[in-house]
């Protein structure tokens, strides 16, 4: 896969499937791009950095991003319908590599439930679901519980693990960067983590789980003040 360096927010915008529809303030694509492009090189956004510090884990100490890939596709069981991740960050701490899949949210949901996604399911969908359950170590979970989950959370998490395997990284992180002032989607996130017996809290890192030799972490960053702060810093027009 060929990667082209991004120079500004406009080059990030060009990667979107429908720039005209999704590139609007207070929508996740714009807010995520603004947050992650207004930072010095080799740094995380300050709110992200603080989340890592507050985790108290040595894994997130001295963590620095090596490369960032917006709108990053990860192929699953086939080369069709990849998981289109908002942002993939390859990072490194003092000892190991880490893959971070960042999912930006404002008031959007995590999409259809597995049950809705499976309506009139083809054989291909059934094979994909089995692939995801195998990768996520969820094959023994009751179908009723699986079918009530949001499908996006399954393939985003699998993306983090698959890229960790591809890069020989020891750690993988699924990070929800939420700009919602009402924590939209948090209950779905918590329901998914509950499959693993983990409590998902807003403003916290959860984990790790140990899946196929990889330490899997989850994080929910509540960053709804970002937009308000930006508006407050806006300079008045010249008279």
pLDDT in tens, 93-136: 999 999 999 999 998 899 999 999 999 889 999 999 999 999 99
Residues of the chain with pLDDT under 50: 233-239
Nearest to 150 by CA among 106, 184, 100, 198: 184
Q: What pLDDT was estimated at residue 96?
A: 97
Does 10 reside within a domain?
no
Termini Cα distance of the chain: 50
Does 18 reside within a domain?
no
Does 208 reside within a domain?
yes
Residue 188 CA neighbour count, 13 Å, CB half: 21
CA–CA gap between residue 26 and residue 230 (Å, rounded): 11
Does 97 reside within a domain?
yes
Does 17 reside within a domain?
no
The SS3 of residue 66 is strand
Q: What pLDDT was estimated at residue 15?
A: 73
Structure tokens at 218: 């989850």
Does 4 reside within a domain?
no
Q: What pLDDT was estimated at residue 173?
A: 98
CA–CA gap between residue 219 and residue 183 (Å, rounded): 13
Does 63 reside within a domain?
yes
Q: What pLDDT was estimated at residue 238?
A: 32
* Structural domains counted in the chain: 1
Q: What pLDDT was estimated at residue 227?
A: 53
């Amino acid at each position: 896969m060929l990667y082209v360096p991004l120079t500004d927010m406009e080059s990030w915008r060009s990667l979107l499937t429908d720039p005209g529809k999704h590139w609007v303030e207070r929508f996740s694509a714009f807010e995520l791009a603004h947050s992650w492009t207004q930072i010095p090189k080799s740094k995380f956004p300050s709110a992200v950095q603080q989340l890592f510090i507050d985790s108290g884990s040595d894994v997130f100490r001295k963590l620095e991003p090596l490369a960032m890939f917006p709108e990053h596709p990860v192929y699953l069981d086939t080369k069709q319908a990849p998981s289109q991740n908002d942002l993939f960050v390859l990072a490194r701490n003092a000892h190991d590599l880490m893959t971070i899949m960042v999912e930006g949210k404002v008031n959007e949901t995590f999409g259809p439930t597995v049950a809705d996604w499976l309506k009139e399911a083809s054989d291909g969908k059934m094979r994909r679901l089995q692939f995801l359950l195998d990768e996520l170590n969820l094959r023994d979970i009751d179908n009723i519980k699986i079918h009530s989950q949001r499908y996006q959370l399954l393939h985003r998490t699998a993306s983090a693990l698959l890229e960790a395997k591809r890069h020989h990284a020891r750690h993988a992180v699924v990070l929800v960067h939420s700009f919602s002032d009402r924590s939209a989607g948090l209950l779905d996130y918590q329901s998914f983590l509950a499959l693993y017996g983990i409590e998902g809290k807003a403003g916290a890192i959860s984990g790790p789980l140990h899946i196929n030799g990889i330490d899997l972490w989850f994080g929910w960053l509540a960053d709804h003040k970002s937009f308000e702060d930006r508006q407050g810093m806006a300079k008045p027009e010249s008279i």
